Amino acid sequence: MVSFELAPEQQDLRDSVAQFARDVVAPVIGGYYERGEFPYDLVARMGKLGLFGLPFPEEYGGMGGDYFALGLALEELARVDSSVAITLEAGVSLGAMPIYRFGSEEQRQRWLPELCAGERLAAFGLTEPGGGSDIPGGMRTTAKLQDNQWVVDGSKAFITNAGTSISSVVTVLAITGRDTDGRKEISSIIIPNGTAGFVPGQEYSKVGWCASDTRELSFSDCRVPAENLLGERGRGYAQFLQILDAGRVAIAALATGLAQGCVDECVRYARQREAFGRRLDQHQAILHLNNLILGRRLMILVDVGPGGEDQR
């Protein structure tokens, strides 16, 4: 039998993040949407809670937790607002995680402590204006090694956390050569914010997630030291696959929280709104829906044995 009970420390984390989302995020996040502002103070408070360091070792300023802990935090944040949740998810899964997984010890010591503390944010430059996850086919950004420097030219699109005042670095996937068959060699290059030739574009006007930072990036004769190569040359494609595999798990946790938040809000509204002389939750159609949801939950709680019989 599989147990879905959380360990005491996991439940404590979930409760503390839920309280933070409910008491700190919920009352003010609407104002950030209306003003089109990035919630720097909320990010700072998330950093003080240790959320940006959840899956990283303490030696780099992390909390010594795991990806499951990050998923719990994302789920509870997204129940209230997806902007702060995606800021955390992208900052950890896409920003800091590539440096932790593939970086040298020097790169880890240089970048991770501030990222784990939430004092700075990092980004992952994969998607381009003419291509998304169809790597390497759709990639156009190049990085050429000249005089012990990587010279990067190209652009990226829909990149999260790259243009805030606390953004520190973006890991860019670029074509660094071709093999004997003409196939593209893809590598990862660390480019600090403020590097000449690296220009974050204007923030996108989005339908949702309006308090998160999303924008296009351009690179023109952008030069960084050769040691800013992340991991082995030519391993960028493999790195990207590993990062996105784990990142999708984190996004799934975020999506679960968002869906639950929608259900919670619908239930709250149905219990308050009156029409035709009764509350919405007393109308037949809503009662049917409630019974369907309740029935689905009961089905999930039933453990089915190897022979197919119900174990109640």
For residue 6, the SS3 value is coil
CA 141, CA 123: separation in Å to the nearest integer? 16
CA 188, CA 148: separation in Å to the nearest integer? 16
Least confident of 13-17, 46-50, 204-208, 266-270: 266-270
E strand or H helix that includes residue 49: none
Read off the pLDDT of residues 137-185 as tens digits, 9 standing for 90 and up: 778 999 999 999 999 999 999 999 999 999 999 999 999 998 878 789 9
Return the higher-pLDDT residue of 89 and 136: 89
Least confident of 69-78, 124-133, 224-233, 290-299: 290-299
Read off the amino acid at residue 254: L
Report, in this order, helix, strand and coil percent for the chain, each rounded to 5. 45, 25, 30
95 and 83 in contact (C-beta within 8 Å)?
Answer: no
What is the DSSP-derived secondary structure letter of residue 94? I
Q: Could you tell me how many helices (H) and strands (E) the chain has, helices first?
A: 9, 12
- Give the pLDDT band (50/70/90) at residue 312: very low
221 and 38 in contact (C-beta within 8 Å)?
Answer: no
Other Cβ atoms less than 10 A from the Cβ of 199: the count is: 14
Mean predicted lDDT score pLDDT of the chain = 89
Find how far residue 93's CA is from the centre of its chain.
6
CA 171, CA 186: separation in Å to the nearest integer? 13
What is the DSSP-derived secondary structure letter of residue 93? I
| pTM of the predicted model as reported, rounded to 2 decimal places | 0.87
CA neighbor of 266 nearest in space, from 252, 251, 284, 286:
286
Return the higher-pLDDT residue of 291 and 303: 291
pLDDT value at residue 274: 74
For residue 21, the SS3 value is helix
CA 75, CA 58: separation in Å to the nearest integer? 23
Check whether 88 has a pLDDT greater than 90. yes
CA 181, CA 92: separation in Å to the nearest integer? 36
Residue with tokens 């990067």: 152
- Give the pLDDT band (50/70/90) at residue 194: very high
Read off the amino acid at residue 232: E
For residue 139, the SS3 value is coil
pLDDT value at residue 263: 82
Residue 170 has, within 13 A of its CA and on its CB side, a CA count of 33
- Over range 218-232, report the average pLDDT: 98
What is the DSSP-derived secondary structure letter of residue 213? -
Other Cβ atoms less than 10 A from the Cβ of 220: the count is: 13
Cis peptide before 136 (omega within 30 of 0): yes
Check whether 289 has a pLDDT greater than 50. yes
